[in-house]
Structure 1
Amino acid sequence: MTDPVNRVVLAYSGGLDTSVILKWLQQTYNCEVVTFTADLGQGEELEPARAKAEMMGVKPEHIFIDDLREEFVGDYVFPMMRANALYEGLYLLGTSIARPLIAKRQIEIARMVEADAVSHGATGKGNDQVRFELGYYALAPDIKVIAPWREWDLTSRTALIAYAEQHQIPVPKDKRGEAPFSTDANLLHTSSEGLVLEDPWAEVPGYVFSRTVDPEDAPDRPQVIEIEFEHGDPIAIDGLSMTPATLLAALNELGRTHGIGRLDLVENRFVGMKSRGMYETPGGTILHAAHRAIEQLTLDRGAAHLKDELMPRYAELIYNGFWFSPEREMLQAAIDLSQKKVNGMVRLKLYKGGVHVIGRQSPDSLYSEKVVTFEDDAGAYDQRDAAGFIKLQALRLRLLGRRDQ
């Protein structure tokens, strides 16, 4: 170790891994540890993390448990949803979009407490190490980053538990055995991967699912809901205005009930390997379908098609951890400009795992029933104009055809 570390801010959950990391940092670097626990709507009780950190010698004033749910949805999830972002055409980026917010708040706390380092519990095989650290360096270029999984020799769960017992770190009984899979959760989604999920031919066991009922067991009658949008963001469900986090939580409950949002995916990690995961994104899946539906009415063809061309690049930037990059901000500016007139209402039918758009309306609609009708359009569209249009479009094809005959 070259530079001494006096104080480090640790992204801390209170679980086995980060509790071991806390003690390891204290011992290895002989430094003061500040813990930061983010409430992103993961549905877990977070106060026990405070008690555990205090028990391990962290000063009460150096234990941060921050409710970031509204900021998470309003400033991260919704901007991503405006882009209709899907990584590799399917993944709604639930884990990816949470990391830049955690990194940002961690750096803010590091500045507040005058820490000279930050630390995380991501392993050296995954994407999260990249996402956290790109965020750290973008916001604090000279910060020292400590990634214990890349430094220590605790390479198994057995070694972690032995270390915890050696240093009187409580290990719950249900954490002593090898977990059948690992999870990450927030208000947008729950992801599960590893062990029982590693064989991509094997069906995901039912016990893996935590956010959605089995679509086969969902209600036998569909439920119809209406989502209102303003400038591309949802603002109300069935006429009831809600804050961003409250609205997403409400959509999650609807999605849970109807078994919506399950995704079994083999994806390409940024670090180079393929991995298989099961994602549950109930509210996000509903919101994605609704947003695309309101854009169908309100976006010009050129803008809509350009957005669809930009989306894969935008999604890849988020997946790879480049939220704070200039190119993501440039794309966001273009996307947000396209949303000025994305206003109106979408009606959806939720039924046994499916989200079905059954209606949409907007005060800023570009759809003209008078122009598109198969009935008499009273001169709104002169069909004879199409002949010249087609001939101009066909000109190069005709020239090619004459040459090649």
Structure 2
Amino acid sequence: MKKIVIAYSGGLDTSYCAKYLSKEENFEVHAVSVNTGGFTKEEIEKIGNNAKLIGAKTYKNIDAVSNFYNKVVKYLIFGNVLKNDTYPLSVSAERIVQAIEIVNYAKEIGAEYIAHGSTGAGNDQVRFDMIFQILAPGINIITPIRDKQLTRQEEIAYLQENGVDMNWEKAKYSVNKGLWGTSVGGSETLTSSSPLPESAYPSPLVEKESKQISLTFTKGELTAVNDVENSPEKNIEILENIASKYAIGRDIHVGDTIIGIKGRVGFEAAAALITIKSHHLLEKHTLSKWQLQHKDYIANWYGTHLHEGQYLDPVMRDFEAFLQNSQAQVTGKVFLTLHPYRFALDGIESPFDLMNSNFGKYGEENKAWTADDAKGFIKILSNAGKIYEHVKQQ
């Protein structure tokens, strides 16, 4: 039988793919899900059992949380990346690593085919197909949902006719949880005007009393929460557990999709937003003026290319090298206060803090230059403007 690896989430689309390809196309189906955060042990076991019941010969869950952090999330933090100044690229960042893990697994077991359940109307089809084609041009890509343009009801009817009668009732909101945030889609996000209701977000407000916490960064990486050291990815999980109880990090992102239409999606990403904003504050104290200036547009391009599936282009490694090098002195502690629905950055402490009082205090005193030095500096600095105005008036 022909071996095929399916990017399997356990939802309706991938369940249809598993059944259809094993029964109608006579494939030997190997279902794979990639954990980039958000899976519990019980959920993994349930997904695996369902995959085999539907027709998969094997099921494998690949733990890629650390890989996801080291390959992608780390650089999103270094770059303080927020798409359209809003979205921390929660899902788009995950898909890249998931696609790479899936294609590597297909090669490992000698599969000549890979399937995914994407439709023809979203970004994921582009991300998956590009990674598969670049890393494994000899492997054929099968996409039944996209190719057959199936409706949800048609998929359910087919599965029921073939003895797969699970609870396919569509949840009111589509939720995708991962290490770097949770996306939330519903009828409201298909409009341009309606907000998501409180009930749509998976993390309800629990804590109402303000709480002070500290985050420690070492060369740009989150190495401790409240002075307790762990791996950066573990610290992100710990911070999410603390801050999500305050219902922090909710918003709706509006952006341009890869296929040219506008898209709108809700999300909650307490740890991602707090980490990015805290890291950025520490950078403001420890990086030079021009490091901050150039990091800004490089990070924006890094996030844009990542979002559009261009992760494997060599320019991404160039961006990463710059971002990594910029973090040499981004070490210190950030103090913040959590409140219901928001957080406040209180300040930082760092041995590399460039607010060095030996040179002066802004608006108060100058120690490293005289009044005459200041006057001469300002006079020279205004030369270009003087020349421009003189020529314009003539």
Quote the residue 1:309 is aligned against: 297
Q: Secondary structure at the match of 1:370?
A: coil
Contact 2:22 2:28 in 1 (8 A): yes
Contact 1:10 1:36 in 2 (8 A): yes
Q: Secondary structure at the match of 1:332?
A: helix
Shift of 1:375: 5.0
Quote the residue 1:183 is aligned against: 175
| Distance of 1:380 and 1:212 partners within structure 2 | 52
Contact 1:161 1:171 in 2 (8 A): no
Q: Deviations over 1:134-174 (max 9, x none)?
A: 222232233221122221242x21111101101111321xx
Q: Which of 235, 241, 246 in structure 2 is aligned with 1:258?
A: 246
Quote the residue 2:105 is aligned against: 109
1:6 and 2:2 matched: yes
Contact 1:212 1:282 in 2 (8 A): no
Q: Which of 368, 375, 393 in structure 2 is aligned with 1:380?
A: 368
What code does the residue aligned with 1:237 have?
V
Q: Point out the more displaced range, 361-370 or 17-26.
A: 361-370
What code does the residue aligned with 1:158 have?
Q
Q: Which of 80, 86, 101 in structure 2 is aligned with 1:90?
A: 86
Contact 1:289 1:355 in 2 (8 A): no
Contact 2:18 2:29 in 1 (8 A): yes
Quote the residue 1:171 is aligned against: 166
| Distance of 2:371 and 2:311 partners within structure 1 | 48
Quote the residue 2:201 is aligned against: 209
Q: Deviations over 1:290-341 (max 9, x none)?
A: 1001111211111111001222211111111111211111111111110111
Change (3 A) 1:383 1:322: farther
Shift of 1:112: 1.0
Q: Point out the more displaced range, 349-358 or 179-188.
A: 179-188
Q: Deviations over 1:260-307 (max 9, x none)?
A: 100122221111111221110011011011100111121111111100
Quote the residue 1:50 is aligned against: 48
Q: Deviations over 1:351-391 (max 9, x none)?
A: 122221112111222221222325555x4233422323222
Contact 1:345 1:362 in 2 (8 A): yes
Q: Secondary structure at the match of 1:78?
A: helix
Q: Secondary structure at the match of 2:290?
A: helix
Mapping of 1:3-402 within 5 angstroms?
A: 6-44=2-40, 45-59=43-57, 62-154=58-150, 156-172=151-167, 175-176=168-169, 178-213=170-205, 218-219=207-208, 221-373=209-361, 374-375=363-364, 377=366, 379-402=367-390
Contact 1:181 1:197 in 2 (8 A): no
Shift of 1:209: 0.5
What code does the residue aligned with 2:374 have?
A
Q: Deviations over 1:159-216 (max 9, x none)?
A: 11101101111321xx33x432322221221112242432221221222110352xxx
| Distance of 2:383 and 2:27 partners within structure 1 | 74
What code does the residue aligned with 1:162 have?
A
| Distance of 1:193 and 1:382 partners within structure 2 | 59
Aligned CA-pair RMSD: 1.8
Shift of 1:218: 4.5
What code does the residue aligned with 2:161 have?
Q
What code does the residue aligned with 2:10 have?
G
> Which structure 1 residue ranges, 5 or more long, are not aligned?
none
Q: Secondary structure at the match of 2:203?
A: coil
Matched length:
390
Shift of 1:43: 4.0
| Distance of 2:126 and 2:377 partners within structure 1 | 51
Q: Secondary structure at the match of 1:226?
A: strand
| Deviation beyond 6 Å, 4+ runs, structure 1 | none
What code does the residue aligned with 1:236 have?
A
What code does the residue aligned with 2:262 have?
K
> Which structure 2 residue ranges, 5 or more long, are not aligned?
none
| Distance of 2:136 and 2:376 partners within structure 1 | 59
Q: Deviations over 1:74-129 (max 9, x none)?
A: 33212211111111121100001101111111011111110112111121111111
Q: Secondary structure at the match of 2:50?
A: helix
Report the identity percentage: 28
| Distance of 2:141 and 2:377 partners within structure 1 | 61
What code does the residue aligned with 2:239 have?
L
Change (3 A) 1:396 1:380: closer
